[in-house]
Structure 1
C-alpha cells in the first residue's frame, strides 16, 4: 500500500457508520461545546442522527469505562472520547490526564476499534475555550476516517 498524502485517499463518508460518544461532564461548559461541535461535524460527514449514541459520565477517568461498555456491544464503527482536564495546583491533573489517555488507547488496541481521543488537557480555561470547537470537529473527522480505514481491512479479510 502507498502512503496517502494529507487530504488524499481519505474516506470521510460517514453515511453507513455508527458512532458512540462518551462525554465527561466535568468542565461541562467546555465538554458541551466539544460534543456539539463533534455531533455537527459527524452530521456534515453524513452520519445519521440515529447512528450517533451519546452518553455522559462524571469525569475523564470514567470515560474509558463507558467506552469499554460500548466497545463490548460490537455495535460501533468508532467511538469518541470527550473531556476537559485543566491543570490545577496539584498532581491530580497528571494522574487524570495520563490514566484517561492510557485507558482510551488501550481500549482502541484491545478492541481493534478506532477511538478519537478529544479529552483536551490545558493549562487554563482560556486554552480550553480556544480549542473546544476545533477539537470536537477533529474528533468527528478522526472517527469517520479511521472507521472507514479499518472497515476496509475488515472487508479485505472477509474476501479471503
Structure 2
C-alpha cells in the first residue's frame, strides 16, 4: 500500500473499506495469461482497499465452467463476506463460446442468490484476445471493488 492508509486509497468511501473482510477468489486457468493478470489486479486492489492478505483465499480451476462449483463450495462454507469469479472466454468458431459464457454466468448468479453472498463476476467474454488484454487489469480491479462494496452493503442491510 506504499505508506498510504486505506481511507486515502478508497477515497474515504466507507463502502470501499475492506478491513476485516474475508474474500474468496476462484480463477479459471484457461487463457492463463489473461486470468493471471485479472487475479493480480484483483488482489492488488483488495490490498489497497484494506483486505488483509491472510483473509484472501485464491483457488484455481481448469476453466470457466468449473468456476461455479468452487464458488458454491466457498459460499456454502460461510467463511467469506464476498467472492470473486475470474475467467476469460474468447469467441471461437463454434457455439461453444455461447454455451460456456451463458452457463458460467447463470451459475455464478444463481450461487450468489441461493447463498445470499455477493459474487463479483469478472469472467470476461470477448470477441478476441486483444479485447481480453485491454480489459484484464481494469476488470480485475473492478471485481475487487464490487466484492468489497457489496459485502459492506449486505452487512448494513442485515444489521
User: Secondary structure at the residue paired with 2:86?
Assistant: strand
TM-score (norm 2): 0.91
Residue 11 of structure 1 deviates from its aligned partner by 1.0
- 1:95 corresponds in structure 2 to 99
User: How do residues 58-137 of structure 1 correspond to structure 2 at under 5 angstroms?
Assistant: 58-137=62-141
Query: Structure 1: any 5+ residue segments left out of the alignment?
Result: 1-6, 156-160
> Residue by residue, what CA displacement relative to the aligned partner does 1:7-58 show, whole Å, maximum 9, x if unpaired?
9976100001000000000000000000000000000000000000000000
Partner residue of 1:146 out of 127, 145, 150? 150
- 2:27 corresponds in structure 1 to 23
The RMSD of aligned alpha carbons is 1.3
Runs ≥4 in structure 1, deviation > 4 angstroms? Answer: 7-10
> Residue by residue, what CA displacement relative to the aligned partner does 1:104-135 show, whole Å, maximum 9, x if unpaired?
00000000000000000000000000000000
Number of equivalent positions:
149
TM-score (norm 1): 0.91
User: Secondary structure at the residue paired with 1:60?
Assistant: coil
User: Secondary structure at the residue paired with 2:51?
Assistant: coil
